[in-house]
Amino acid sequence: MRTPRVFLLIGLAVAAPPLAAQGLGDAAAAVMPQAVSVKIGSGATAKTVSQTSIPFVFVLPLGSRFNVDVATAYAISDVSVDGKSVSSISGPTDTQLRANLTLGNDAIVFTVGANLPTGQYKIAEDKADAAGQIGNDFLIFPTSSYGSGMSATGGLAIARSAGAWNFGLAGSFRRSTEFDAFEANDGSAKQVLTFTPADEVRARIGADRFIGNGRLTLGVTYSTFGNDVLANTSYATGDRFIGQGSLYYPVNGMDLYVSGWALYRAKGQQFGGEAPYETVANGAVSLGFRLANWYLEPNIEARNWQVEGYKAGMLGNGGLRLRWTNGVFTFMPSVTYQMGEIYTLGGGDTYDVTGWRAAVTLRVR
């Protein structure tokens, strides 16, 4: 049985959780179909962004301290206005290959990974809107990118216990290569735009402990980037800070979960000038309980988005997650309804946001 500290380590290393048992017979696989539809605005000018995403994950433990996981997805994304599709893109995404090695008394984890360019590239102009709308930190689509080029990542996580607390520190570096990203019309000819993603350095600190029969987990991640280059033009995304916290506590035979996260992206450089800083804060509460052979978890969630101090969006979610397990099979459906508003920066127009999400996870272990 793994100690709580190793799960903190794996989370810090941004890797898949290891399986406690050993051998090829203990491999795990999961498929997680998800469908999302978000409508922005109302009337004839309303824009609806929809996506159906089917991620696949395979985890293979090669002994008690080494495991490999592979993840990829197939996604269909569409943007429609007044009920008519104006941009769509579909196909496989990139494939992520990762390996984790645990050393010592669950105190050190080495992680290496690669992003394999199996996704969509040379995106045509008529697909660019659909490909761009899904990369949104506020609305959060299951698949946020169809392709980001070949890259390699190496990471190290270290954990120590101090009294009732487990503390962890992790760092990683990602190196990316250039790729042909877009295909634009230049008169009668087509021009291919080459994109070189910035390298990324990431550091994370985390801590967890038991509180009575419950558990508290805290973490902060910092990411800094070099300059991206598109068609010989350099620009930079701002550094990112992400704080996360969660509390699990059993109450009267039920499981109470309280969680939250906050993203701060510092100022950067975009085409034509400076990219403003922005923040996204999210809080969620759920209550889990058993009913016959099912585990039910109704939940509510609220999200706030601000850009350079101005309110940019508010979103509320309400949903239900279920879980049914029989031997090595786990079936987890969920459904969510969301509603809120997006604001024009500095005041002005307000756009209603409504949508829904549905997902099913099928896992074999």
Instruction: Quick: pLDDT tens for 276-290.
Output: 999 999 999 999 999
Q: In what order do the strands lie in the sheet with 228-230?
A: 123-124, 179-186, 189-196, 228-230, 233-235
Sorted by where each begins, the domain ranges of the chain are 4-364
Average pLDDT over residues 93-103: 95
The confidence band for 274, taking pLDDT boundaries of 50, 70 and 90, is: confident
For residue 252, pLDDT over 60 is answered with: yes
Higher pLDDT, 363 or 1: 363
Backbone angles phi, psi at 128, to 5 degrees: -65, -40
- pLDDT given for residue 231 in this prediction: 73
For residue 104, pLDDT over 90 is answered with: no
Higher pLDDT, 21 or 284: 284
Lowest mean pLDDT, pick from 8-12, 77-81, 126-130, 268-272 = 8-12
CA distances from 311 to 157, 172, 339 (A): 37, 33, 16
- pLDDT given for residue 235 in this prediction: 78
- The CATH-assigned architecture of domain 4-364 is Beta Barrel (2.40)
Residue of 173, 26, 166, 153 lying closest to 100 (CA atoms): 153
Radius of gyration of the chain (CA): 22
The confidence band for 161, taking pLDDT boundaries of 50, 70 and 90, is: very high
pLDDT digits 0-9 by tens, 191-207: 888 999 999 999 999 99
- pLDDT given for residue 272 in this prediction: 67
Average pLDDT over residues 87-100: 96
C-alpha–C-alpha distance, residues 37 and 41, integer Å: 13
- pLDDT given for residue 365 in this prediction: 80
Tell me if 87 sits within 8 A of 130, measured CB to CB: yes
- pLDDT given for residue 6 in this prediction: 43
DSSP H helical segments within the chain, as ranges? 4-12, 125-133
- pLDDT given for residue 3 in this prediction: 45
The confidence band for 1, taking pLDDT boundaries of 50, 70 and 90, is: very low
For residue 20, pLDDT over 50 is answered with: no
Higher pLDDT, 5 or 88: 88
Average pLDDT over residues 68-96: 96
Beta-strand pair 123-124/179-186: parallel
Mean pLDDT over all residues of the chain? 89
Q: What is the pTM of this model?
A: 0.86
Percent of the chain with pLDDT over 90: 74
Q: Would you give the end-to-end CA distance of the chain in angstroms?
A: 16
Residues in the chain: 365
Residue of 314, 358, 313 lying closest to 335 (CA atoms): 358
For residue 345, pLDDT over 70 is answered with: yes
Average pLDDT over residues 3-32: 53
Average pLDDT over residues 19-47: 80
pLDDT digits 0-9 by tens, 298-321: 999 999 999 998 999 999 999 999
The confidence band for 106, taking pLDDT boundaries of 50, 70 and 90, is: low
